[in-house]
Amino acid sequence: MSPMLQRPRRNRASQTIRDLVAETHLKPSDFVWPIFIMDGTQKSEAISAMPGVYRRSVDAWIPLLKEACKMGLKSFALFPKVNEELKDPHGAISLKDDFFLYSALRQLREEIPEATLITDVALDPYSSDGHDGIYKDEKILNDESVEILAKQAVLQAKNGAHIVAPSDMMDGRVAAIRKALDAAGFKDTGILSYAAKYASNFYGPFRSALDSAPKSGDKKTYQMDPRNSTEALRELRLDIEEGADMVMVKPALAYLDIIKIFKEEAAVPVAAYQVSGEYSMIKAAASQGLLDEEKTMLECLTAIKRAGADIIFSYYAFDFCKSYKG
């Protein structure tokens, strides 16, 4: 038998060697923790579709966010839960100065100055139709929606958001938001665009967390078709041209190829969102004893980073940091 010169297993012989040759390392500062905020004080509600995730009033979040910051997890994405009776077709509540999200932002800025606050720009949490844009005669009105989104972004910046994150997938919204922010004096507020956001079934648990599912129709005329990747490149190039400082791929695990393409193409940081369905799928399997939760979580998050994500949005961010050993 000829000698075998190549034995790749040598590099896997012990934990120390495996650590030595490991190419991908997760750390707390890679993460953004998405949190659901509700109005009121001392409120905390479990979300049944996302075991272990809670909607909380801002005062109830503060101690947890401080704990997260101490572990090196300092970036948070805020998603407000709006009561049904406050919703209307134009999401008017999102343009009111006294909307609770804005006071929550101010409070967070004051009490946790080390935190980076990222806010979601879209209509669906506020819209009685449950769409990310204005819905009229079974159509989404692109340009009219963009006007509202730009105003939302300005109010978010004014009240303390460091980065605004349009997740709506309307055409031209990044340029409109950049222009509106600059005109209002917020030239330093960043834009993280959800550049390739797919029309995904994995958003189901999030929509039940916010009661934000579309009342009729679906999101396929604005969110991307899961069959396409060339289209993602077009969205990426447009968003960067329009002024995006960071770009996102969403969901993450089923779209690792898109993350990789973004990383190769984009001269800006790439974020990926491990969405609600990805989280709940692991939780559900673990609760039935079918998967080891922590190991599966780590494997999925590692895969997302290995594919090229510089930033990972994950409901597991806090749990990851708790189990992080450096």
Q: Which residues are catalytic?
A: 197, 250
Contact call for residues 249 and 271 (beta carbons, < 8 A):
yes
Report residue 111 as tokens. 């009490």
Alpha-carbon distance 296 to 29, whole Å? 20
CB of 236 to ligand PBG, least distance (A): 18
Rank residues 166 and 308 by Cβ distance to ligand PBG and give the closer one: 166
- Coil, strand, or helix at residue 163? strand
Rank residues 111 and 142 by Cβ distance to ligand PBG and give the closer one: 142
Exposure string of 283-303, with b = 16+ CB inside 10 Å and e = fewer, is: beebeeeebeeeebbbebbeb
How many other C-beta atoms lie within 10 A of the C-beta of residue 210?
20
Alpha-carbon distance 143 to 127, whole Å? 16
CB of 79 to ligand PBG, least distance (A): 7
Rank residues 262 and 313 by Cβ distance to ligand PBG and give the closer one: 313
CB of 182 to ligand PBG, least distance (A): 24
Which residue, judged by CB position, is nearest to ligand PBG in the bound state? 206
Class of residue 313 by CB neighbours under 10 A (exposed 0-12, middle 13-18, buried 19+): buried
CB of 213 to ligand PBG, least distance (A): 7
Alpha-carbon distance 176 to 193, whole Å? 12
Rank residues 59 and 142 by Cβ distance to ligand PBG and give the closer one: 142
CB of 121 to ligand PBG, least distance (A): 8
Alpha-carbon distance 197 to 34, whole Å? 16
Rank residues 111 and 128 by Cβ distance to ligand PBG and give the closer one: 128
Alpha-carbon distance 229 to 231, whole Å? 5
CA distances from 105 to 77, 80, 199, 227, 300 (A): 11, 11, 29, 38, 31
CB of 177 to ligand PBG, least distance (A): 14
Rank residues 30 and 120 by Cβ distance to ligand PBG and give the closer one: 120
Helix then strand count (H, E) for the chain reads: 11, 12
Q: Residues interacting with ligand PBG, by CB under 6 A?
A: 120, 122, 124, 132, 167-168, 203, 206-207, 275-276
- Coil, strand, or helix at residue 263? helix
